[in-house]
Protein backbone atom coordinates (compact mmCIF):
# COMPACT_ATOMS: atom_id res chain seq x y z
CA UNK A 1 0.00 0.00 0.00
CA UNK A 2 1.20 3.51 -0.80
CA UNK A 3 1.63 6.44 1.52
CA UNK A 4 0.30 9.96 1.93
CA UNK A 5 3.55 11.23 3.40
CA UNK A 6 3.89 14.94 2.72
CA UNK A 7 0.51 15.17 1.00
CA UNK A 8 -1.81 18.05 1.92
CA UNK A 9 -5.24 16.71 2.88
CA UNK A 10 -8.11 19.16 3.38
CA UNK A 11 -10.92 17.59 5.46
CA UNK A 12 -14.24 19.20 6.36
CA UNK A 13 -16.14 18.10 9.45
CA UNK A 14 -12.79 17.14 10.92
CA UNK A 15 -13.39 17.82 14.60
CA UNK A 16 -14.90 14.43 15.45
CA UNK A 17 -16.26 11.16 14.09
CA UNK A 18 -15.29 10.01 10.60
CA UNK A 19 -13.50 13.26 9.75
CA UNK A 20 -11.27 12.94 12.80
CA UNK A 21 -10.56 9.26 12.06
CA UNK A 22 -9.53 10.05 8.47
CA UNK A 23 -7.31 12.87 9.71
CA UNK A 24 -5.51 10.58 12.14
CA UNK A 25 -5.07 7.84 9.54
CA UNK A 26 -3.49 10.34 7.14
CA UNK A 27 -1.33 11.70 9.94
CA UNK A 28 0.16 8.27 10.59
CA UNK A 29 1.64 8.52 7.08
CA UNK A 30 3.12 11.93 7.84
CA UNK A 31 0.50 13.88 5.88
CA UNK A 32 -0.15 17.57 6.35
CA UNK A 33 -3.79 17.81 7.40
CA UNK A 34 -6.11 20.79 7.19
CA UNK A 35 -8.80 20.37 9.83
CA UNK A 36 -11.81 22.44 8.78
CA UNK A 37 -14.92 22.56 10.97
CA UNK A 38 -17.11 24.92 12.96
CA UNK A 39 -16.10 23.30 16.25
CA UNK A 40 -13.26 25.48 17.50
CA UNK A 41 -14.55 25.57 21.08
CA UNK A 42 -15.64 22.71 23.37
CA UNK A 43 -19.26 21.60 23.00
CA UNK A 44 -21.17 20.71 26.18
CA UNK A 45 -22.45 17.44 24.70
CA UNK A 46 -19.99 16.53 21.93
CA UNK A 47 -16.29 15.78 22.35
CA UNK A 48 -13.57 17.28 20.19
CA UNK A 49 -12.61 20.51 18.47
CA UNK A 50 -10.36 21.27 15.53
CA UNK A 51 -7.68 22.14 18.08
CA UNK A 52 -7.86 18.87 20.03
CA UNK A 53 -7.76 16.91 16.77
CA UNK A 54 -4.79 19.02 15.64
CA UNK A 55 -2.91 17.89 18.74
CA UNK A 56 -3.78 14.27 17.97
CA UNK A 57 -2.65 14.67 14.35
CA UNK A 58 0.73 15.98 15.47
CA UNK A 59 1.09 13.19 18.03
CA UNK A 60 0.35 10.67 15.26
CA UNK A 61 3.17 12.02 13.10
CA UNK A 62 1.46 14.54 10.84
CA UNK A 63 1.30 18.30 10.53
CA UNK A 64 -1.95 20.08 11.33
CA UNK A 65 -3.66 23.31 10.38
CA UNK A 66 -6.93 23.83 12.28
CA UNK A 67 -9.29 26.22 10.51
CA UNK A 68 -12.70 27.29 11.77
CA UNK A 69 -15.00 26.98 8.77
CA UNK A 70 -18.72 27.20 8.18
CA UNK A 71 -19.06 25.29 4.92
CA UNK A 72 -22.26 27.17 4.09
CA UNK A 73 -20.12 30.26 3.44
CA UNK A 74 -18.58 30.07 -0.04
CA UNK A 75 -16.36 33.08 0.57
CA UNK A 76 -15.05 31.50 3.77
CA UNK A 77 -14.30 28.32 1.82
CA UNK A 78 -12.26 30.31 -0.70
CA UNK A 79 -10.31 31.94 2.14
CA UNK A 80 -9.73 28.62 3.92
CA UNK A 81 -8.37 27.07 0.72
CA UNK A 82 -6.07 30.05 0.19
CA UNK A 83 -4.80 29.81 3.78
CA UNK A 84 -4.22 26.07 3.48
CA UNK A 85 -2.34 26.40 0.19
CA UNK A 86 -0.25 29.27 1.51
CA UNK A 87 0.61 27.36 4.69
CA UNK A 88 1.45 24.02 3.12
CA UNK A 89 2.33 25.00 -0.44
CA UNK A 90 -0.66 23.44 -2.15
CA UNK A 91 -3.53 20.99 -1.78
CA UNK A 92 -3.44 17.36 -2.97
CA UNK A 93 -6.58 15.85 -1.49
CA UNK A 94 -10.04 17.15 -0.59
CA UNK A 95 -12.35 15.13 1.67
CA UNK A 96 -15.90 16.45 1.71
CA UNK A 97 -17.00 14.95 4.99
CA UNK A 98 -19.06 17.70 6.67
CA UNK A 99 -22.72 16.79 6.75
CA UNK A 100 -26.13 17.49 8.21
CA UNK A 101 -28.80 14.84 8.67
CA UNK A 102 -32.53 15.03 9.28
CA UNK A 103 -34.42 11.81 8.62
CA UNK A 104 -37.82 13.48 8.53
CA UNK A 105 -40.79 13.28 6.14
CA UNK A 106 -41.83 16.34 4.14
CA UNK A 107 -44.41 17.61 6.67
CA UNK A 108 -41.72 17.64 9.36
CA UNK A 109 -39.00 19.12 7.16
CA UNK A 110 -39.38 22.89 6.83
CA UNK A 111 -37.86 24.46 3.74
CA UNK A 112 -35.24 26.07 5.98
CA UNK A 113 -34.04 22.62 7.06
CA UNK A 114 -34.11 21.38 3.46
CA UNK A 115 -31.92 24.35 2.51
CA UNK A 116 -29.54 23.53 5.38
CA UNK A 117 -29.03 19.95 4.17
CA UNK A 118 -28.48 21.08 0.60
CA UNK A 119 -26.04 23.78 1.75
CA UNK A 120 -23.94 21.62 4.09
CA UNK A 121 -24.01 18.41 2.06
CA UNK A 122 -24.00 18.96 -1.69
CA UNK A 123 -23.41 22.73 -2.08
CA UNK A 124 -20.40 22.73 0.26
CA UNK A 125 -18.83 19.78 -1.57
CA UNK A 126 -19.25 21.62 -4.85
CA UNK A 127 -17.88 24.89 -3.46
CA UNK A 128 -14.82 23.35 -1.80
CA UNK A 129 -13.92 21.20 -4.81
CA UNK A 130 -14.25 24.22 -7.09
CA UNK A 131 -12.16 26.42 -4.79
CA UNK A 132 -9.42 23.78 -4.48
CA UNK A 133 -9.37 22.96 -8.19
CA UNK A 134 -6.42 25.25 -9.14
CA UNK A 135 -4.28 23.51 -6.53
CA UNK A 136 -5.52 20.02 -7.38
CA UNK A 137 -4.55 20.65 -11.00
CA UNK A 138 -0.97 21.33 -9.88
CA UNK A 139 -0.74 18.16 -7.80
CA UNK A 140 0.67 14.91 -9.12
CA UNK A 141 -1.62 12.98 -6.80
CA UNK A 142 -4.99 14.75 -6.76
CA UNK A 143 -8.03 13.18 -5.16
CA UNK A 144 -11.50 14.38 -4.17
CA UNK A 145 -13.45 12.12 -1.84
CA UNK A 146 -17.15 12.73 -1.14
CA UNK A 147 -18.77 10.96 1.78
CA UNK A 148 -21.93 9.90 -0.02
CA UNK A 149 -23.74 6.67 -0.96
CA UNK A 150 -24.26 4.65 -4.10
CA UNK A 151 -27.36 5.88 -5.90
CA UNK A 152 -30.40 3.63 -5.79
CA UNK A 153 -33.77 4.83 -7.04
CA UNK A 154 -35.70 2.30 -4.97
CA UNK A 155 -38.53 4.32 -3.39
CA UNK A 156 -37.73 3.01 0.09
CA UNK A 157 -34.50 5.03 0.10
CA UNK A 158 -36.37 8.25 -0.65
CA UNK A 159 -39.68 7.95 1.15
CA UNK A 160 -39.66 9.33 4.68
CA UNK A 161 -36.48 11.37 4.31
CA UNK A 162 -36.50 12.59 0.73
CA UNK A 163 -34.74 15.89 1.55
CA UNK A 164 -31.74 14.17 3.10
CA UNK A 165 -31.55 11.64 0.28
CA UNK A 166 -31.61 14.39 -2.35
CA UNK A 167 -28.67 16.09 -0.63
CA UNK A 168 -26.57 12.91 -0.34
CA UNK A 169 -27.40 11.64 -3.82
CA UNK A 170 -26.47 15.11 -5.06
CA UNK A 171 -22.98 14.55 -3.68
CA UNK A 172 -22.77 11.22 -5.49
CA UNK A 173 -23.90 12.82 -8.75
CA UNK A 174 -21.17 15.39 -8.22
CA UNK A 175 -18.72 12.51 -7.93
CA UNK A 176 -19.81 10.86 -11.16
CA UNK A 177 -19.93 14.08 -13.14
CA UNK A 178 -16.65 15.57 -11.95
CA UNK A 179 -14.79 12.28 -12.28
CA UNK A 180 -15.48 12.38 -16.01
CA UNK A 181 -14.97 16.13 -16.33
CA UNK A 182 -11.60 16.05 -14.56
CA UNK A 183 -10.34 12.70 -15.83
CA UNK A 184 -7.94 14.21 -18.36
CA UNK A 185 -6.44 16.35 -15.59
CA UNK A 186 -5.62 13.25 -13.53
CA UNK A 187 -7.87 14.34 -10.66
CA UNK A 188 -9.67 11.38 -9.12
CA UNK A 189 -13.17 11.91 -7.76
CA UNK A 190 -14.87 9.17 -5.76
CA UNK A 191 -17.55 8.63 -3.14
CA UNK A 192 -17.26 6.50 -0.02
CA UNK A 193 -20.05 5.15 2.17
CA UNK A 194 -20.07 2.67 5.07
CA UNK A 195 -21.89 -0.61 4.60
CA UNK A 196 -22.93 -0.45 8.26
CA UNK A 197 -23.84 2.33 10.62
CA UNK A 198 -20.84 4.05 12.19
CA UNK A 199 -20.63 5.02 15.86
CA UNK A 200 -20.85 8.80 15.45
CA UNK A 201 -22.91 11.54 17.05
CA UNK A 202 -25.32 11.44 14.09
CA UNK A 203 -26.14 7.77 14.71
CA UNK A 204 -26.38 8.34 18.45
CA UNK A 205 -28.91 11.15 17.99
CA UNK A 206 -30.98 9.91 15.05
CA UNK A 207 -31.09 6.14 15.62
CA UNK A 208 -32.12 3.89 18.53
CA UNK A 209 -29.48 2.89 21.07
CA UNK A 210 -29.57 -0.72 19.80
CA UNK A 211 -28.46 0.42 16.34
CA UNK A 212 -25.67 2.55 17.78
CA UNK A 213 -24.39 -0.42 19.74
CA UNK A 214 -24.40 -2.54 16.57
CA UNK A 215 -22.36 0.07 14.71
CA UNK A 216 -18.72 -0.03 13.71
CA UNK A 217 -16.03 2.41 14.77
CA UNK A 218 -15.10 5.27 12.40
CA UNK A 219 -11.70 3.70 11.81
CA UNK A 220 -13.15 1.32 9.23
CA UNK A 221 -14.13 4.27 7.03
CA UNK A 222 -10.76 5.92 7.66
CA UNK A 223 -8.85 2.81 6.62
CA UNK A 224 -10.98 2.49 3.48
CA UNK A 225 -10.48 6.18 2.66
CA UNK A 226 -6.72 5.80 3.04
CA UNK A 227 -6.66 2.72 0.82
CA UNK A 228 -8.48 4.66 -1.89
CA UNK A 229 -6.54 7.91 -1.53
CA UNK A 230 -3.15 6.27 -2.05
CA UNK A 231 -4.26 4.80 -5.39
CA UNK A 232 -3.27 6.25 -8.76
CA UNK A 233 -5.73 9.07 -9.51
CA UNK A 234 -5.47 8.36 -13.23
CA UNK A 235 -7.26 5.04 -12.82
CA UNK A 236 -8.99 5.06 -9.42
CA UNK A 237 -11.83 7.44 -10.21
CA UNK A 238 -15.56 7.67 -10.82
CA UNK A 239 -16.84 5.14 -8.29
CA UNK A 240 -19.26 5.18 -5.38
CA UNK A 241 -17.50 2.78 -3.04
CA UNK A 242 -18.54 0.96 0.12
CA UNK A 243 -15.87 0.74 2.81
CA UNK A 244 -15.91 -3.06 2.80
CA UNK A 245 -15.36 -3.21 -0.99
CA UNK A 246 -12.15 -1.22 -0.82
CA UNK A 247 -10.79 -3.07 2.20
CA UNK A 248 -11.54 -6.46 0.64
CA UNK A 249 -9.47 -5.41 -2.37
CA UNK A 250 -6.64 -4.73 0.08
CA UNK A 251 -6.96 -8.24 1.50
CA UNK A 252 -8.96 -7.36 4.62
CA UNK A 253 -11.63 -9.94 5.37
CA UNK A 254 -12.09 -9.70 9.14
CA UNK A 255 -14.17 -6.64 9.94
CA UNK A 256 -14.96 -7.72 13.49
CA UNK A 257 -12.01 -5.63 14.74
CA UNK A 258 -14.03 -2.52 13.90
CA UNK A 259 -17.10 -3.47 15.94
CA UNK A 260 -18.12 -1.02 18.64
CA UNK A 261 -19.61 -3.93 20.56
CA UNK A 262 -17.60 -7.14 20.07
CA UNK A 263 -19.74 -9.92 18.64
CA UNK A 264 -22.68 -7.67 17.73
CA UNK A 265 -24.25 -8.13 14.27
CA UNK A 266 -23.46 -4.97 12.25
CA UNK A 267 -26.49 -2.88 11.33
CA UNK A 268 -26.78 -1.91 7.62
CA UNK A 269 -26.50 1.80 6.94
CA UNK A 270 -29.01 3.83 4.95
CA UNK A 271 -29.12 2.98 1.25
CA UNK A 272 -27.64 -0.47 1.91
CA UNK A 273 -29.91 -3.49 1.49
CA UNK A 274 -29.47 -6.07 4.29
CA UNK A 275 -27.38 -9.02 3.12
Q: How far apart are CA 36 and CA 122, in angstroms?
A: 16
What sign does the dihedral 55-39-229-140 (CA atoms) show? negative
Q: How far apart are CA 108 and CA 99, in angstroms?
A: 19
Q: Which residues neighbour 8 within 8 Å (Cβ) at sequence distance 6 or greater? A: 31, 32, 33, 34, 84, 85, 88, 89, 90, 91, 92, 93
What sign does the dihedral 191-170-214-43 (CA atoms) show? positive
CA 18 to chain centre: 7
Residue 195 and residue 149 in contact, taking contact as beta carbons nearer than 8 Å: no
Of 100, 164, 258, 271, the catalytic one is 164
Annotated active-site residue 164? The verdict is yes
225: DSSP letter = H
Closest CA to 228 of 17, 45, 25, 24: 25
Beta bridge partners of 67: 36
CA dihedral 26, 269, 204, 229 (to 10 degrees): 10
| Positions marked catalytic | 164
Amino acid sequence: MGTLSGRVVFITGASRGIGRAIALRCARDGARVVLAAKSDRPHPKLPGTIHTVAEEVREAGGEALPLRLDVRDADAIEQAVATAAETFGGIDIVVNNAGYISLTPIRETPVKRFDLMIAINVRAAYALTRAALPWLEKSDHAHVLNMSPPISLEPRWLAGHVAYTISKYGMSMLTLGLAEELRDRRIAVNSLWPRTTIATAAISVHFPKEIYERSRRPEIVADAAHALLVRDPATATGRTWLDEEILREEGVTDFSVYALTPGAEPFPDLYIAPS
